Structure 1
Amino acid sequence: MALFDYVLEPPSYGWKDEQGNLVKPTPAMILKEFSRRLNIFRCRKNWMTFTSWVQLFCLLPFLFVFLFYHFNWWFVAAGFVYSMILMGTHGTIWYHRYCTHGAYTFKNKFWRFVTQHLVIKTVFEEIYAVSHHVHHAKSDEPGDPYNASAGFLYCFLADANHQPINRNLSEEDYNRVVNLMKHTGVTPNSYAQYKRWGSIDSPARVLLSWALNWGFWFGAFYLLGQFIFNDGIGFACALFGSAFVWTAGVRTFNYEGHGKGKDKRVDGVDHNRKDMSINQIWPGYVAGEWHNNHHLYPASARSGFLPYQLDLAYCYVRLLSLIGGVDSYRDAKKQFLENYHAPYLAQKKANGKLKEEVVEA
């Protein structure tokens, strides 16, 4: 078996049935698995999924404080820009194109650290990156951790139910998984520590990184809000509250980005026909996530290949390249235009001429 066949901890309902078809669990089965995966009293190896969801709900008090005590339409606008654009683009820059696909390289650890902590931290590298390798290897097939064909809830709770790494890897396989993460700066557990905690990263390092990141950004937002609006607490709570909205919402992306399990691909827009991924205007503009293009060229630092496809994540990589923060990056725009867009236009033109000849005849 290939590593990606077993690198993730399988859910209790399994990935596929005896005939090899995708298992589509009922909502009750999914919720039961979710409860089991978050129960740290049953198994301490559930610590990362438990922490991930605790982290999400720790953002809720900030949202309530903003809504009920410091509501301000300027803060609403700031929260919208921060969550939808800055956090969305950062997710593409850091977790998607760098941690998973290594689409570019940093000049040094300083620029990697800055990029990693560019926004409020609400996603763990380990949960995202390893499972996303599997997603590309098995896109829309049994074993895809967020297979849209299994429904909304299957995707929404995937970070707990389907994305954690397998807790029973051999030492050789564990080292192979660690190798997938070595460029991210995550300090890996030893194999003995992995057997104890069921993860690559350790609870102490994750909790310290979380605390320092949130402490820095709350302080920075407070000072900025105090200086501009004379309401530091309100401004900081508005942005932290908006982070809750983004962190909850991003869990729906792959369900939407793969057509909700239906074929919504459009000729001339979605050239990748190996899976159900689609290019969407909203994720494309606010986060540089032209998903069908990305599935064509996953290792490209750019996925907005056409003139109308704004790619803010690529703009960041290009900026860092210009100021010396990024050493190198891959750009598949030329290959995309030559291999897909130009042939499509040529075929469209030929079909148009054919129609004209038929009409004339």
Structure 2
Amino acid sequence: MSFLDRILDPPSYGYEKNGALYVPTHREIFSEFFARLNIFRTRKNWLALIGWTTTLGFGIPLALFFTHHFSWWLLLVGFVYSMVVLGTHGTIWFHRYSTHRAFQFKNAFFRELCRNLVVKTISEEAYVISHHVHHAKVETPGDPYNAKAGWLYCFLADVNHQGIRRDLSAKDYSQLCKLMEHTGVHLNSYEQYQKWGSLCHPGWTVAHFLANWAVWYGVFFLLGGHALALALFGWSGVWAVGVRTFNYDGHGGGKDRRRDGVDFNMKDQSINQLWPGLITGEWHNNHHLYPHGARAGFLSYQFDPAWHFIRGWSWMGAISSYRDFKPEFMERHYLPWAEKQKAKAVVVGG
């Protein structure tokens, strides 16, 4: 069993039966979900509980916005902040840097600045570790958000499938820390891990969330009063819920929806979608083709705001290096495909 095969805590229903992917019933999924949120069962469920408590907690400012400060203008501002700003930041921070190290910051100041550029909605640990496993076992048993197992399987994966094991050896825990140490997250000692079952400590995690929220609520309040602050915080929760649906859609809902001339990665069923691509730079098939790249939008219509941010910060000196695979993509994938299309056209035109 490889390292990535043994770092996540498997659900009680397992990943496979008789050598094939096991698709649990909705009842099994919900039962697992609520069991893993039960802090009275074990304190080691704290991270999953915090994740959903904060996500649902954003419903309070959202409700206050709609009931006390609603305006169509602020609705639009909140929507753009949620879909574009938070989405692009998620691609930059959680996806390209924290998981894949597609670029490097000049120093810790710029790293922490980038980390806190938006309202904090999810913890790094909940995303990074499981995403490494996703790429290693994509669409096979053990993939924590395997689209072939259904929408609910993916939507509740952050609780049911993405938590780290609670019985790692000291050696495995030390190796696991190496996947997160570059993010700036305050990591537990092995003894603390044995107590809390996580890489991050509840005290540091809660303090970071509260400090981030205090600063951003203050900034939004100064700019537009409670109305703007409640709108943007409320819509942050919309993003936190919506991001949990992405991988299911990004892998064709478990079906092969790849298109010739659009999706060039044939190793899995990830697809390039216009909406997440254009507003966040998440051209998912391209990303699976070159997961360690700082750019995922390779073709002329594939606008990549995350890439433009990375390149802009590099120009300013905040980012010291990045990896760009567009030249390789064009040479190895797109140009050969385009030549084949020309050849076919000549044959048909006769």
Alignment TM class, shorter chain as reference: over 0.9
The secondary structure found in structure 1 opposite 2:229 is helix
How far 1:7 sits from its partner (Å)? 0.8
1:300 matched to 2:299? no
CA offset at residue 354 of structure 1? 2.1
How far 1:81 sits from its partner (Å)?
1.1
Match of 1:313 among 306, 313, 326: 306
For structure 2, the 5+ residue unaligned runs are: none
After superposition, the CA RMSD in angstroms is 0.6
Whole-Å separation in 2 of the counterparts to 1:186 and 1:237: 27
1:257: which partner in 2? 250
Unaligned runs of 5+ in 1: 226-231
Aligned AA (2:333): Y
Counterpart of 1:336, as a letter, is: F
Q: What is the CA distance between 1:351 and its match in structure 2?
A: 1.5
Measure how far apart 1:261 and its partner are. Answer: 0.3
- The percent of aligned pairs where both chains have the same amino acid is 54
Displacement of 1:244: 1.1
- Letter in structure 2 aligned against 1:14: G
Q: Which position in structure 2 is the counterpart of 1:285?
A: 278
Provide the C-alpha distance between the structure 2 equivalents of 1:194 and 1:285, rounded to a whole number of angstroms: 40
1:157 aligns with 2:156: yes
2:72 corresponds to = 73
Give the equivalent residue in structure 1 for 2:9: 9
Separation of aligned partners in 2, 1:86 and 1:322: 20
**1:129-150 CA deviation, whole Å, 9 max, x = no partner?**
0000000001111111000011
Equivalent residue, structure 2, for 1:194: 193
Question: How many aligned residue pairs are there?
Answer: 350
Cα distance, 1:349 vs. partner? 1.1
Which of structure 1's runs of 4+ aligned residues deviate more than 3 A?
none
State the Cα distance separating 1:347 from its structure 2 match: 1.0
Q: Counterpart of 2:335 in 1: which secondary structure? A: helix
Residue 126 of structure 2 corresponds to which residue in structure 1?
A: 127
State the Cα deviation string for residues 304-325 of structure 1 (Å, max 9, x = none).
Answer: 0011101000111111101100
SS of the aligned residue for 2:348 comes to: helix
For 1:160-239, list aligned pairs within 5 A.
160-225=159-224, 232-239=225-232
1:206-225 per-residue CA deviation (whole Å, 9 max, x = no partner) reads 00000000011011000000
Question: Which residue pairs with 1:53 in the alignment?
Answer: 52
Greater Cα shift, 184-193 or 96-105: 184-193
Matches of 2:141 and 2:27 in 1, distance apart? 20
Q: Does the residue aligned with 1:12 lie in a helix, a strand or coil?
A: coil
**In structure 1, C-alpha distance between the alignment counterparts of 2:213 and 2:338, rounded to whole Å:** 49
Match of 1:148 in 2: 147
Task: Tell me the equivalent position of 2:110.
Answer: 111
Q: Name the CA distance, whole Å, in 1 between partners of 2:267 and 2:323.
A: 22
Given the alignment, which residue of 262, 265, 270 partners 2:263?
A: 270
In the TM superposition, residue 6 of structure 1 has moved relative to its aligned partner by 1.2
Question: What TM-score does the superposition give when structure 1 sets the normalisation length?
Answer: 0.96
Residue type of the partner of 1:321?
S
